[in-house]
């Protein structure tokens, strides 16, 4: 399915092209597509999980931050999310890619139609009863879909976690900077602010946590030495 047809359908599939990878792109697509097969008789649940998982993969947000979003925090005119009361009580803005923006807009329309005429919370992502999503259920559903799509073994009790989307977002951003010849260490405060880290040292950890990232860093150092020799 092409990017334009995906966008017209109101899915996040095309946006996955722009997200750092927890696993190969086809596996991410398989997982978020599998979410659309959840509870076919439920008009909202499958879209809720599809859009939620896409958002986590694309933005690197913490799970709790995404679940705490309220409708007023999702500014679809400015294409910005306001993350309030995150870790250590900090708030920040998260800009949205245009395909993510379209997917959130489509979800909000579905959410409003589904909840029309009934009392519901003002959380952006809600259960079929109109309540805030339960974090434990969000993770259980992720594990279930991971097994269905092969991201986890059929009986595996360990494997990729939702929080890994956040780790890979940081690592792949740094790798792209290194490969582009950008001074990644100078840009670390930008990434740190985007991720909502209180201290740049928390983001600096990613520089030593990934062999591929270390390899890119070493190549940059070697190139600098060559230019100096």
Mind telling me the catalytic residues? 62, 87, 163, 166, 197, 206
**3-class DSSP assignment, residue 8:** helix
Residues with Cβ within 8 Å of 135's Cβ and at least 6 positions away in sequence, in order, are 63, 64, 67
**3-class DSSP assignment, residue 51:** helix
Closest CA relative to residue 87, chosen from 194, 198, 205, 193: 198
**Beta bridge mates, 95:** 80
Q: Per this entry, what is the length of the chain?
A: 229
Closest CA relative to residue 15, chosen from 65, 46, 53, 43: 53
- Angstrom distance (rounded) from CA 93 to CA 219: 33
Torsion angle, alpha carbons of 152, 45, 137, 101, to 10: 80
């Amino acid at each position: 399915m092409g990017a334009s047809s995906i966008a017209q359908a109101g899915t996040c599939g095309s946006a996955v092209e722009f997200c750092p990878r927890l696993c190969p792109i086809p596996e991410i697509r398989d997982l978020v597509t599998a979410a659309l097969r959840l509870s076919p008789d439920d008009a909202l649940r499958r879209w809720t999980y599809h859009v939620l998982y896409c958002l986590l993969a694309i933005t690197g947000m913490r799970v709790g931050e995404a679940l705490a979003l309220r409708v007023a925090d999702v500014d679809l005119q400015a294409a910005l999310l306001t993350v309030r009361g995150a870790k250590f009580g900090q708030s920040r803005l998260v800009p949205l890619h245009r395909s993510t923006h379209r997917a959130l807009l489509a979800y909000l329309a579905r959410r409003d139609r589904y909840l029309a005429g009934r009392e519901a919370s003002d959380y952006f992502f809600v259960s079929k009863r109109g309540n805030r999503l339960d974090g434990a259920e969000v993770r259980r559903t992720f594990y279930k879909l991971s097994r269905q799509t092969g991201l986890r073994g059929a009986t595996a009790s360990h494997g990729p976690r939702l929080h890994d989307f956040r780790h890979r977002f940081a690592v792949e951003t740094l790798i792209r900077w290194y490969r582009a010849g950008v001074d990644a260490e100078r840009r670390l405060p930008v990434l740190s602010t985007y991720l909502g880290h209180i201290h740049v040292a928390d983001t600096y950890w990613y520089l030593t946590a990934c062999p591929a990232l270390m390899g890119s860093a070493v190549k940059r150092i070697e190139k600098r030495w060559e230019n100096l020799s």
